[in-house]
Amino acid sequence: MELYELTISQAHKGLINREFSCLDLTKAYLERIEREDKRISAYITITEDLAVSQAKKADELISSGREVDVLTGIPLAVKDNILVSGVKNTCASKILENYLAPYDAAVIKKLKNKGAVILGKTNMDEFAMGASCENSAFFPTKNPHNIDYVPGGSSGGSAASVAANLSCYALGSDTGGSIRQPASFCGIVGLKPTYGAVSRYGLVAFASSLDQIGPLTKTAEDAKIVFKAIKGKDEMDSTSLDCSDDYRFNVLDFKIGIPKEYFIKGIEPDVEKIVKDAIGRFESLGFKIEEVSLPHTKYVIPTYYLINTSEASANLARYDGIKYGLSRNDRDDLIDVYLRTRGEGFGREVKRRIMLGTFALSSGYYDAYYLKAQKVRTLIKQDFERAFEKVDFILSPTSPTPAFKIKEKVTDPLSMYLCDVFTAPVNLAGLPSISIPIGFSNELPVGLQLTAKPFKEDIILEAAQFYQKNE
Ligand code: GLN
């Protein structure tokens, strides 16, 4: 087995048993990135110097004989909307093309304190808006299983880096599915934590009431390791809090609910079959399965797209050519600075969302669109609450289809938005949710999504790990 193929826990064992050094491990990734990333284009920035110096530090720590964390010396990739001090943070946008992060995001600070090794920043849909990585202003990322296909989005670079062994694990962000859907398309594990479980300090805001940072890993066991390392209250994010994780339960005591509204037309027959087989597998492992109802499912996409665009239009107002990044300020006219900076700096999808959100928030339309969407959001959340009175998990496909071809959906934003039908409701309700790989359709991975009550990451991770051990 090559060093870059190891999971976090395997690499950790190798490091503490002195089978190889952190520098060996880091170099194995850097060399592989040099060779392979031309084909995949997972990274926007490679932080070789930082990685090598962090690896040397980790080696010193290990050779000092002191007890080290399981993440010490383990190389990761970071989505390019999570700040790493002194490193470019582009959000895959021209408007931030040369923007240097002035500080570390809370999650990065935590990982650095554990001795993590940062390999670089990964490609994404511009400002995390998209489901294919094609909205990057720089280049699309390719699916490592077949480079004619998208890796999913918006954390497509992070997912592809893990799947192609260009990182041991990665961080992504999930506003409507951006960790889980690319994890599903690339055949890896992706965890979207409960809203508030992980600090958003230093995550560039897209839609603040929906955004969460989470891990993309090779296994559920690794997702648990990373989640434990990044979670918890942070005084810089007032929405963050501590959550329990005692793992003292028998996972087979939990019941799985299957929403009857999820197996409808639009879902690809192969995906349906693979997910139904996995449900059978869960059942034969000893889980109880029950049908549940999420009656407001048909309103998820319009509700999600009104709320995310409204919040995005407010959050992205800060990119005005004065405060951050790109500035077209060579003429003596403030309005001209705004218009040209934003006109040249933002891509089509970002502009589309700012316009839609500005419209939904404008006086005269606010009640009909934004306020209505917020009310429906409550109904969607209540659907889950009712279902969770009967069951502990909701199981569904992560995405209605496997990865699609590059360019297949770029000219049809609506069909791109429909990719989020199973993932976005989870963000609207603020719940924790994981995607795990369960099979292949035409050699492209298919993922299954498990969702639970708020702050029940522990039972999701345990169930996912149990499934993967007994596959
Ligand atoms: N595909 C969704 C969107 O375009 C998800 C984005 C995300 O989770 N960041 O909004």
Which 3-state string (H, E, C) describes 211-222?
CEEEEEECCHHH
Determine the atom of ligand 1 nearest the C-alpha atom of 131. 1
Residue nearest to atom 5 of ligand 1 (CA): 176
Q: Which of 192, 257, 281 is nearest to 393 (CA)?
A: 257
Write out the catalytic residue numbers: 79, 154, 178
* Residue 219 in contact with ligand 1 by CB distance below 6 A: no
Is the shortest distance between the CB of 129 and ligand 1 below 6 Å? yes
Q: Is the CB of 156 under 6 A from ligand 1?
A: no
CB 231 within 8 A of CB 197: yes
> 29-53 burial, b if ≥16 CB within 10 A, otherwise e?
bbebbeebbeebbbbbbbbeebbbe
- Residue 71 Cβ contacting ligand 1 at under 6 Å: no
154 CB near ligand 1 (under 6 Å): yes
pLDDT the model gives residue 243: 82
Ligand 1 contacts CB of residue 131 (under 6 A): yes
Q: Which atom of ligand 1 is nearest to the CA of 416?
A: 1
- From ligand 1's centre to the CA of 64, what distance in Å? 44
3-state secondary structure the chain: CCHHHCCHHHHHHHHHCCCCCHHHHHHHHHHHHHHHHHHHCCEEEECHHHHHHHHHHHHHHHHCCCCCCCCCCCEEEEECCECCCCCECCCCCHHHCCCECCCCCHHHHHHHHCCCEEEEEECCCHHHCCCCCCCCCCCCCCECCECCECCCCCCHHHHHHHHCCCCCEEEEEECCCCCHHHHHHHCCEEEECCCCCECCCCECCCCCCCCEEEEEECCHHHHHHHHHHHECCECCECCCCCCCCCCCCCHHHCEEEEEHHHCCCCCCHHHHHHHHHHHHHHHHHCCEEEEECCHHHHHHHHHHHHHHHHHHHHHHHHCCCCCCCCCCCCCCCHHHHHHHHHHHHCCHHHHHHHHHHHHHHCCCCCHHHHHHHHHHHHHHHHHHHHHHHHCCEEEEECCCCCCCECCCCCCCHHHHHHHHCCCHHHHHHCCCEEEEEEEEECCEEEEEEEEECCCCHHHHHHHHHHHHHCC
pLDDT of residue 251: 86
CA dihedral of 30, 32, 38, 41, whole degrees rounded to 10: -70
Q: How far is the CA of 301 from the centre of ligand 1 (A)?
A: 11
Residue 465 token pair = 């790990």
**Ligand 1 and 178: CB distance under 6 A:** yes
**Centroid of ligand 1 to alpha carbon of 48 (angstroms):** 29
What pLDDT is stored for residue 265 in this prediction? 75
User: Is ligand 1 within 6 A of the CB of residue 130?
Assistant: yes
pTM of the model: 0.98
Cross-sheet strand order for the sheet of 444-452: 43-46, 117-122, 75-79, 169-174, 212-217, 189-192, 433-441, 444-452, 393-397, 255-259, 288-292
Ligand 1 pocket member 174 (CB < 6 A): yes
Give the number of the atom of ligand 1 that is nearest the alpha carbon of residue 304: 10
The topology (CATH level 3) of 3-230 is Amidase signature (AS) enzymes (3.90.1300)
Centre of ligand 1 to C-alpha 388, Å, is 25
Q: How far apart are CA 460 and CA 426, in angstroms?
A: 14
The C-alpha atoms of residue 454 and residue 241 are separated, in whole angstroms, by 12
Divide the 471 residues of the chain into consecutive groups of 10 and give the mean pLDDT of each group. 97 97 98 98 98 98 95 98 98 98 98 98 98 98 98 98 99 98 98 98 98 98 98 97 81 94 88 97 96 97 98 97 93 94 97 98 95 98 98 97 96 90 98 98 98 95 95 82
Per-residue model confidence (pLDDT) at position 264: 75
Q: Nearest CA to 404 among 174, 144, 149?
A: 149
Measured CA to CA, the distance from residue 421 to residue 142 in angstroms comes to: 23
- From 155, 174, 175, give the residue whose CB has the most ligand 1 atoms within 8 Å, as the site to mutate: 175
The CB of 309 under 6 Å from ligand 1? The reply is no
Which residues, including other chains, have CB under 8 Å from residue 468's CB and lie 6 or more apart? 219, 220, 221, 436
User: Ligand 1 test: best mutation among 178, 179, 213, 435, most atoms within 8 Å of CB?
Assistant: 178
Atom 4 of ligand 1: nearest residue by CA position = 130
pLDDT score for 206: 98
Of 125, 181, 210, the one to substitute when testing ligand 1's pocket (max ligand atoms within 8 A of C-beta) is: 125
The number of CA neighbours under 13 Å toward the Cβ of 305 is: 21
Locate the ligand 1 atom nearest the alpha carbon of residue 155 and give its number: 9
The minimum-distance atom of ligand 1 relative to the CA of 419 is 1
The Cα 54–Cα 52 span in angstroms is: 5
Q: Whose CA is nearest to atom 10 of ligand 1?
A: 129
